[in-house]
Each structure stands twice: as structure tokens, then as C-alpha cells.
Amino acid sequence: MTLLYDPDDQIVGVAAATPDDPDAFPLRRVGSRADGPRIISAASFTNYYDIDTSTSRRWDAGRVNGVLCISLRTPGTVVVGNRNGRTATGPPSPANDD
């Protein structure tokens, strides 16, 4: 995938890349399912453009001329994983010993 950034409008774009593109970011499979989700490791991209990644967020995306785009001008939705029982409002919930 090719990652694009417009610093003036604070828009991140994601577009398909050719396999021989040296600037492309590879997709990695999450889990073992062939039709499962994919991720892009883009820390170098976000560090280069000084995009804050201290909090995980999810944005609605739109397609513009074949490029999937998100606007960083909107706050996005904070994402908190549930692997260790955390909630969006605080620390892990206590175990229920009933």
C-alpha cells in the first residue's frame, strides 16, 4: 500500500501500490484466515510526518479518486482493546468472583 499525507489539510491517504514500489508499505495478515483483516506497520510514516499515535483511534474514511482518505482534523474515536479487560473510561475491571 502507498501511504500519502497532505500536511496542509491533515489528510492521510491509502492507495494500492505495485509489488515493485520501493516506497510501498506491505500488508500483513492478522491471524490465519485468508479473508481476515490486514494491517500496515507505518510507524516510520507517522514519525516522519509527526502524526500523533500515542492513542489508538479509528476514523471514518472516504474514497477520493481511488484513494481511501481520513481527515486528522476530526478527533476520531478512541479505541481501547479488551485483551486485558480495559475499558474506554479507566483501568482493567476487577474480576467477578461470584
Please count the CA atoms within 13 angstroms of the CA of 24 that sit on its side-chain side.
12
**Do residues 17 and 2 lie in contact, with contact meaning Cβ atoms separated by under 8 Å?**
yes
Tell me, what DSSP letter sits at residue 90? B
Least confident range of 15-19, 58-62, 84-88? 84-88
Report residue 19's pLDDT band, with 50, 70 and 90 as the boundaries.
confident
State pLDDT tens for residues 25-55.
Answer: 888 888 888 888 888 889 999 999 999 999 9
Confidence check: pLDDT of 98 > 50: no
> What's the confidence (pLDDT) of residue 85?
54
